[in-house]
Amino acid sequence: MGLLWPEKDQDKARHSLNEALRVLRRAVGDALVTEGDVVRIEASAIATDLDAGDSSATAGPFLEGFAVPDAPEFEDWLARERERLRATSLEASSRSAENALAQGDLRAARETAERALALDPQHEPALRALMRAYALDGVRQLALEVYERTRAALERDLGAQPEPATEELARRLRAGDVVRIRPPAPQPEQTPPLVGEGRRLLARLTALWDEAVAGPRIALVQGDPGTGKTRLLDELAARSRLDGAVVAYARALDGDGPRDLVTAWLGSGLAVPELASAAPAALAALAVLDPDLGVRFPGARGAAPLPLDDALAAAVGAIAAERWVLLVLDDAHRAEAATIGSLVRLVQRGGSASLLVALAAPRSGVAAPAAPAALDFVSERIGRDLRGAELHTGLLAEPDVAEFAGWAMPAYSGSQRERLARRVMADTSGNPFLVAELMLALRAGLSVSPGDGAAWPAARRTLDDTLPSQLPPAVAAALRLRYRALSAPAQRLLAALAVLGGRTPATTLARAAEVPRGELERALDQLEWERWIQGDAHGYSFVTRLAREVVLTDMVTGGEQRRIRERAAG
């Protein structure tokens, strides 16, 4: 009575209350319960948006536009409730955005963070989630734009600066420490989404990364070719850089030993200033592999080098005392057993270092090349005397492909997406790489015939076992269409890489493809962004063998192949 009828005396206020309850009872019946001086409505009688399990989905202020005239106590109560619910919704939105980021659902993360910022344009946890979503989608420009808008609003309205965590994230973005290869234009929705099991696996990897703060962990990611192993490692590396971690990424070549691996890691991110606190003997051992370290760290001169295993452990320990460390080895099955053993010892001897070692390799079995016995040994020991996790990638299910279709063809209705998913499943058998290729081509305008729906690939065959002539026509057409959409320098570089094979340095590619230095970086960036190629300290290679075979078979004449080899050699 005091909230709603403060201007009336007690008898008149009670009469007004009784009249209001009479009207309410006509609407809700026995759900309106009066017990002495307490009036309540049964919880099951009325549903509101505040009852939703996800309060981050609540839009707008509580009871927006609603008021009771001449009831100041009600207005005070309403203001308190609005602030309480706004804070709850902001916290839930930030948490939901971070959860979506951990699962690789960048669209959901961005939309949830934007809802939170609509409630409070200066809510920095939501701002950081939005910046991360843009950065992980490869559009650093948009991440910095939303940061600058918020920074200006804080300074204008409150005379304040962003929180240190926000400033540090912006600094990393400006320095280029975080993002993927830059896209040609700053538009969201650039990166194909992770769907289905891929989201769960990324969430598990992200959780393992969080666990590494308590000591070294190891992750072993296995699966058939084209099922997303490299994509998972890329996503983990991108998120780790956002956290300010030191990330060193290498891809093994056949027969790579421990020296090759450490050299690759030093060249791809491990040679950071924090190495200065490592023992001189450890630096001396690393300087044998990277002479520049002897110049940067004079303490290494004259010291007797440690054994390489000891030197790597000392170096990682020195870095991990200041920053988290992620060491990635893709195609780990190609490395020597001694290399895998060196990594196992690194994890075992890491003490309390904040370290995660992530390995990716095909699964053992008849459908893929058998991993070395050393990787089987790692698999057996994870969960026993090795702290970590083993993850297995696989094929997409039809609902996952339908979700992918919603990203590629947003104008399609639900039934249209389901029909498209059935068609794509017939041509790809749910292989994530081929689904992505076909969806990207459909997005670019490729049309496909109904097809005969025959199972593909053939029984007991994998992506690496399949020749271009055995591909369904729609998949081969998708690869050709994507190739022709590249810039002319990028096409020439891709053709040269297809002819030369293996991993090729950028300088050799530029010479073989006759691409001027001024165009080389842009063309390589485009090829990495479009996920045709991947680069590491050894050079560049195709993401999958199948893409190389299609380019080599369909896009490069015999005469051009000969000329490319001649230019590369000369």
Q: Does residue 468 sit within a domain?
A: yes
Tally of domains within the chain: 5
Domain ranges, residue 531 = 486-569
Q: Count CB neighbours of 134 within 10 A.
A: 27
One domain for residues 282 and 373 = yes
Q: Residue 310 has what pLDDT?
A: 92
**Based on the number of CB atoms within 10 Å of its own CB, is 298 exposed (0-12), middle (13-18) or buried (19 or more)?**
exposed
CA separation for the pair 201, 394 (Å, rounded): 11
Q: Residue 446 has what pLDDT?
A: 65
Q: Does residue 108 sit within a domain?
A: yes
Q: Count CB neighbours of 5 within 10 A.
A: 20
Backbone φ/ψ region at 203: left (φ over 0), alpha (ψ -120 to 50), beta: alpha
Q: Does residue 54 sit within a domain?
A: no
Instruction: Using only the alpha carbons of the chain, give its radius of gyration.
Output: 29
List pLDDT tens digits, range 232-278. 998 899 889 888 899 998 888 777 889 989 998 998 889 999 998 99
Locate tokens 């850089």: which residue? 241
Tokens of 348: 């075992």
Between vectors from CA 142 to CA 141 and to CA 145, what angle results, nearest 5°? 90
Strands 533-536 and 388-392: unpaired
DSSP letter (8 states) at residue 55: G
Name the residue type at position 300: A
Q: Residue 455 has what pLDDT?
A: 37
CA separation for the pair 163, 288 (Å, rounded): 42
User: Residue 91 is part of a domain; what is its CATH number?
Assistant: 1.25.40.10
CA separation for the pair 249, 237 (Å, rounded): 8
**Domain-terminating residue out of 481, 508, 540:** 481
Does the CA dihedral 110-116-120-122 come out positive or negative?
negative
CA separation for the pair 337, 357 (Å, rounded): 16
Q: Residue 174 has what pLDDT?
A: 83
CA separation for the pair 10, 143 (Å, rounded): 58
User: Residue 384 is part of a domain; what is its CATH number?
Assistant: 3.40.50.300
Q: Residue 256 has what pLDDT?
A: 83
Select from 180, 194, 124 the least CA-distant residue to 154.
124
Q: Is the peptide bond before 457 cis (omega within 30 degrees of 0)?
A: yes
Q: Residue 225 has what pLDDT?
A: 80
**Based on the number of CB atoms within 10 Å of its own CB, is 242 exposed (0-12), middle (13-18) or buried (19 or more)?**
buried
CA separation for the pair 360, 139 (Å, rounded): 27
Tokens of 34: 């009066």
One domain for residues 387 and 350 = yes
Q: Residue 186 has what pLDDT?
A: 43
Q: Residue 196 has what pLDDT?
A: 86
One domain for residues 301 and 322 = yes
Q: Does residue 170 sit within a domain?
A: yes
One domain for residues 497 and 540 = yes
CA distances from 483 to 470, 486, 551 (A): 19, 6, 8
One domain for residues 336 and 270 = yes
One domain for residues 120 and 248 = no
Q: Does residue 95 sit within a domain?
A: yes
Q: Does residue 244 sit within a domain?
A: yes
Q: Does residue 444 sit within a domain?
A: yes
**Domain-terminating residue out of 364, 392, 420:** 392
One domain for residues 363 and 265 = yes
One domain for residues 314 and 241 = yes
Q: Does residue 59 sit within a domain?
A: no
Contact at 8 Å (CB) between 422 and 398?
A: yes
One domain for residues 426 and 494 = no
CA separation for the pair 113, 91 (Å, rounded): 10
Name the residue type at position 122: Q
CA separation for the pair 335, 361 (Å, rounded): 10
pTM over 0.85: no
CA separation for the pair 181, 291 (Å, rounded): 28
Parts of the chain with a pLDDT under 70: 52-59, 176-191, 364-372, 445-472, 537
CA separation for the pair 366, 460 (Å, rounded): 8
One domain for residues 304 and 375 = yes
Contact at 8 Å (CB) between 180 and 239?
A: no
One domain for residues 364 and 250 = yes
Contact at 8 Å (CB) between 424 and 438?
A: yes
**Domain-terminating residue out of 437, 466, 481:** 481
Backbone φ/ψ region at 483: left (φ over 0), alpha (ψ -120 to 50), beta: alpha
3-state secondary structure string across 328-361 = EEECHHHCCHHHHHHHHHHHHCCCCCCEEEEEEE
One domain for residues 254 and 376 = yes
